[in-house]
Amino acid sequence: MERKLIRSALDQLDNSYAPYSGFNVAAAVLAESGKIYTGVNVENASFPAGICAECNAVSSMVSCGDRKIKAVAIIGRDTKAPEGKTAGYVSPCGICRQVLREFSDPGELRVIMAKSESDFRFMTLEELLPESFGPDSLEAGKN
């Protein structure tokens, strides 16, 4: 499962639009349905208007009707580094962690940070975002 998810992210990495930072990121989320959705970071000259790869992948998932993430793979590349060199283990930023929290069980969500299909590590979202605030924290999220 990890390698397939990482490969899905790797296949999208060249589609990243990062002319300002030179830091390409791609993500692939595995939905509870078994479908994989991908996304890349898309920068903007008005910096706050950019979107992270993880948020892009989650938005794609939600727009297709899925609502629960089982795993996410993230890979990055610094375009200023030697050709083909990935950026190390890329962890989701704080905003992306919160977006992932919205659509997952933080104790179960596997966040896979990859350099390649064979070189990766993972943590749960709960490890990355302890004592998180999510839908179940709000009265409207309680069923």
User: Where do the domains of the chain lie, and which CATH numbers do they carry?
Assistant: 2-136 (3.40.140.10)
Question: CA gyration radius for the chain?
Answer: 15
Q: Which of 32, 43, 54, 108 is catalytic?
A: 54
Active site residue 2: no
Q: Which amino acid is at 110?
A: R
Residue 121 main-chain phi, psi, to 5 deg: -140, 165
How far is the C-alpha of 143 from the C-alpha of 95, rounded, in Å?
Answer: 26
37-53 pLDDT, tens digit per residue, is: 999 999 999 999 999 99
5-47 pLDDT, tens digit per residue, is: 999 999 999 999 999 999 999 999 999 999 999 999 999 999 9
Q: What angle do CA 36, 98, 71 make, to 5 degrees?
A: 25
CB 123 within 8 A of CB 111: yes
What pTM was estimated for this model as a whole? 0.91
